[in-house]
Structures are given as C-alpha cells and as structure tokens.
Chains A and B, each alone.
Chain A
Amino acid sequence: MNVDDFPWMEEHHRMIREAVRGFAAGEVAPRAVALDASCEFPLDLFGKMAELGFLGIPIPEELGGAGMDTLAYVIAVEELARVDGSLALGLAAHTSLGTYPIYAFGTEEQRRRWVPRLASGKGIAAFALTEPDAGSDAQGTRTTAVQDGDGWLVNGTKFYCTNGTHASTIVFTAVTGTAPGGKKEISAFVVEKGTPGLKYGAKEVKLGMRSSDTRVLHFEDMRLPAGNLLGGPESRGAGFKKFMLTLDGGRISVGAISVGLAQGALDRAVPYSRQREAFGQAIGDLGGISARLADMAVDVHAARLMVYDAALRKDRGLPFAKQASMAKLFASEAGMRATDSAIQVLGGYGFTREYEVERMYRDAKLCEIGEGTSEIQRLVIARSLSKEFGS
C-alpha cells in the first residue's frame, strides 16, 4: 500500500522511503515471523543495513554517516517497523540512543574515536539508563563511578539494555558524587565491549520486540580510563541532563516505530477487508469494519504528522522536547489502537502468527513503555504547560 507523501517533503525523503522499503520487503519481511519465533538477533541484517548506510543516517558524512536529517532517519525507522518492529528498535537504539549522545555531547576526540565506527555500522551502539529502581527518575540511580587514579571504578547494574551483547560501545549513567544541594551528581560514560568487569545477564524473554537483544548489564569493579567520561571533565555532573536530551530525540524514534507498526497493521487490514466476504459483501463495506479502518487511517496520519513535526523542529534547531513527548505519547497509543483493530478486522486469522498483526500488537506495547512510559510523557507535557503558563 502506498504511503501518502507530504507535498513539503524533499526528494531525498521520498528516496529514502523507497530505498528502505525495497530493503525491508526483500530482506526483512520474509524473515519477520521466524525471527519473532526464534528471538534471534539478526546480526546479518545489521551488516546489510550498514552496507547501505542505514546505521548513520543523521550523522555527518565526515564522521562516517549519511549526512541526512532527522526526518530522513525517522522515515527509515518507520519503514522498517512496518515489517519488523524489533529491527526498527535495534536501529533506533543504535542511532538515537547509542550513537547520538557521543556525537552531540562527546569531546572532539571522543567523536573521532567512536562515532565513525558506529555511523558506518562497523560497530553497534547501545545505551543504558534504567536500573532496578531508576528510570526517568534520575535520583534513583545506584550505579557508582568512583575516581580511581587517572580513571574511574564503576559498580552497579543496568536493566533493559537494547542491543546488549552486540554493542561495541554502551553509553551509561553513574553517580559520581554529591552535587551542591545534596542531590546525586550524575555523569555519563562510554564503555567498550570486552572491558573487564562488564558482564551480561541472560537475554530477556519478552512479550514483543522479541528478536531485539535486551540484557541486564553488571558492572563489577569495571575500570574506565578518564577519557571515557562523556564530554570530558567539564561535563562531570551533566550526565542526566544529557540523557534527558538524548531521550527527547529517542522519543521521536519510538514515535516513528509506532507509526510504522500502525501502518503495517493498516497494510494488512485493508486488503483483507476487501477480500473477505460476509453476507454477500466485502467486510470492508460493513459499517463496523469500515469505521475501524477509517479510525486506523486517521490515527496513522495524525501520528505521522506529529512525529514528522517533532523531527523537523529538531532539524531546524527549534525546541522540540514537548512535541517529541506528545508525538511519542500519541503515536504509541495510536499504535496500540491500530494493531488491536487489525487483529479484530482479521478475526481468527489475526490471532494467529502467520498473519503478523498479533506480533505488531505485541511490539506496539513496548512503545508505550520504552524511553519514558505514557505516564512520564503526560508528566513531561503537563510540566511544560505549567511553565508556559508561568505558574
């Protein structure tokens, strides 16, 4: 099914959609059902995406990326999610959570050291913020980094690290002391795969996004050189703020995954509703089904507009945190509604694995949780409103 392009889109936006769609149809779609069943991380697909330049879309060419904008990246994530949510999540975690903070907040030396490898796809990136008792609330962070000679000694546990064992670099936060006023001072670090003391838990078995590799990380007396403090010494204590800025961008990606899943659900529901007959007519012409399809299409369109708007704001250097939260909140809930409707339209078929909409429904649920739950998004939006109205 054709996705409506917007008249204001640039030619490269249409071209990246076509390029990713061709790749997704040829290489990803035939394997999505099996990858969900086996929970296998498709390392070979990451290799192919790297060759095509998908792993560094919004990173400048001189740092090994494709030098495109956030909107182009969002379109790529959306088109992948249309056929496989897990792969889209892997790409999103790699790009906007794992690579972007090094690019945006790293020192020049750190950028040169890590970004070209990641943007060209020679390595996969990951990000670790969540802990057993901390997520969007930074003050719950228990992981500590203590100055140790020239470097740092890190101890702690991180939960739900996407791309886990496959990541060549992981960006994470740790408490580095007490800030003035008594709050925890939180800083961001980069750890490379193979660092002694970095240990992985078992692969999580999940409701959805099953072929994405999600791990617990244990830092056990892990020593990091001084150069791994993200942003250098002057950035000490700015870790959580950086992570929040990273998450603002990450929320746009989760919105894009949701749009892709919702579009994928619509792609399957509409043709089925035209083929399947009941009472002598296509079920798509029956009131109940046609209303569901219309609502799905409206959800997809509205979610897409909100996600693209947030991306364009980011590209133009405008504030976008509130819009990213709103887009993520709306798109993820729209994704749940649309995938639920697709199962309903397909009836018994929709409940079975081969028809794929049940997978999309399971995948869509993650989008209401990852990178800030819907509850956190509402909090962010409401706080922003209260600032705007000056109270």
Chain B
Amino acid sequence: MKIAVCIKRVPDTTAKVRIAADGKTVDPAGVEWVIGPYEEIALEAALKLKEAGKAEKVTVLCLGPKEATKELRTALAMGADDAVLLVDGGGERDAAAVAGALAAEAKGLGADLLLFGWKAIDTDQASVPHLAAAILERPCVSFVTKLEAGDGRLLCHREVEGGTEALEVPLPCVLTAQKGLAEPRYASLKGIMAAKKKPLVEKPAPAAAAAVRTERLSLPPERPPGRILGQGVDAVPELVRLLRDEAKLL
C-alpha cells in the first residue's frame, strides 16, 4: 500500500492572529508556522502503518507557499519517505481548487490511501478531503479514531454521538484523522539528519481558482469584562439567577 498524507502549513495554535491590510488574509508577520495538528495525527497513523509492515511508502503532499518546505522537512524528519510541494503562485483558491490539485497529484503518485486531517485549523472548513474523494471517485471515511489494515481493506473506527462506529472500506480510499487516532511523535535528531537526504520535489500548483471567495475576515468580538456581584453567601442568589437567565448555563 502506498500512502499519501496531505499536510497544511498553518499558524501555530498559540499564535496571536492579526488580519492583514487586505482584510481577507492573516497577517503573516510574527506568526510561527507549523504542520496542522490533525495532519500531524494523520502522518503519525501513516508512519505506524509503515512500521507495522502494512505500507511500503509514505509520501507527504502539501499545497502551499515555498516556505512550506520547512513543514515538509519536518514531516520527513518524523519518518515520511518523500515529499511533494505544490508551490502556490498566489491568488485565491477555494476548497474545490485545493482538492483538485491535491487529488491529481495523489493520483499521479499512485497512492492507495489518501490521508488528511479532518480539518485545517486555520480555515476550519473541513471540506477539502471530501471534495478530493469525490474528484477521485473514491470512498471516504471521516473522523477516524482507530485504523487497522487488512487485505486490500481498512477497518476504521469513528466516534459518533454516544458510541463508536466500526466501518470497513476498500482501497483505494480517502480517510480523515480525528484526535485519538495516533499521538504524533517528535522528530528525532537522526530523523532530522536523514531528512536532509530525502527527496523533496517542488512543482508549481495549477492556477488558482475560486468560486467561493472570501469577502472579509473579522476577529471575534472582545469579551465583556467580568462583573463582581457581591461577596460571600449573599451574592449567590444573584449569581445563580444570572447563570440561569443570562448565561443559560444552568
């Protein structure tokens, strides 16, 4: 089985996001970029399959700016075999366009299993994997929390309201990783040195296209300041009333 793991370069979860002057994009100044946390989980799951002898090759695939070679090298240091970066030449690209570019590349790579994180934590759309599956006309299972490889098939668990669903899916297919599927490893120093010698191919991404366009980004409203209702037991009735009637928490 050949696996392609799609990763996205996203702002670090602790980064303080500012909106750029165009009002539509994130200001990159001072932002530290990382592999999306769900994509890291997907990569770990792929590496585990390879280590268990169930997959012969793990390729990481990314559509992003030239700087995303950093994230791809990290993925190689974690243990992926090779990497492909589709260099984004700029312009707005909606989820369908991203999915189209990744699907075409994954097909070219001959990947039997195409793994994604269930969502990219920057745009929060959670639509690229399903669009890619549709374009490739392959079955898709999302929010996978456990994965076992059988003969030409995969057994997937996913969390559903109040329980777990067990699904069997034939290869080739598309899966999206949810928290719990795997605990991403740290890149070891041997891995970092080995990553230097692993192939990382850069090629231009197809021209950008967007049917869905970003109108504007806005930051969430500032939280109102806290209120002090009083002190001691006397304040409790008012606190309970507000928690019930205003915050609707009770």
Contacts and interface: CB of A to CB of B under 8 A. Distances in A.
B186 A19 contact: yes
B195 interface: yes
A12 B196 CA distance: 8
Given A11-B73, A14-B70, A52-B186, A19 B30 contact: no
A53 interface: yes
A68 B189 contact: yes
Contact of A68 (B77, B186, B193, B195): B193
B193 A66 contact: yes
A219 B173 CA distance: 66
B187 interface: yes
Contacts of A19: 77, 186-189, 192
Interface residues of A, number: 21
Nearest to A27: B186
Given A2-B32, A67-B193, A15 B77 contact: yes
Contacts of B30: 2
A12 B192 contact: yes
Given A2-B30, A2-B32, A15 B190 contact: no
Interface in B74-93: 74, 77
B192 A15 contact: yes
Given A14-B70, A18-B74, A53 B196 contact: no
A16 interface: yes
Interface string A15-42: 1101100110010000000000000000
Contacts of B32: 2
B186 A16 contact: no
A6 B74 CA distance: 19
A66 B190 CA distance: 6
A16 B195 CA distance: 12
B188 A51 contact: yes
Interface string B176-206: 0000000000111110110110000000000
A129 B7 CA distance: 50
A62 to B, nearest CB: 13
A15 B188 contact: no
- With a 10 A CB-CB cut-off, give which of B74, B77, B186, B193 has the most chain A CB atoms: B186
Given A11-B196, A12-B196, A67-B193, A53 B74 contact: no
A218 B195 CA distance: 46
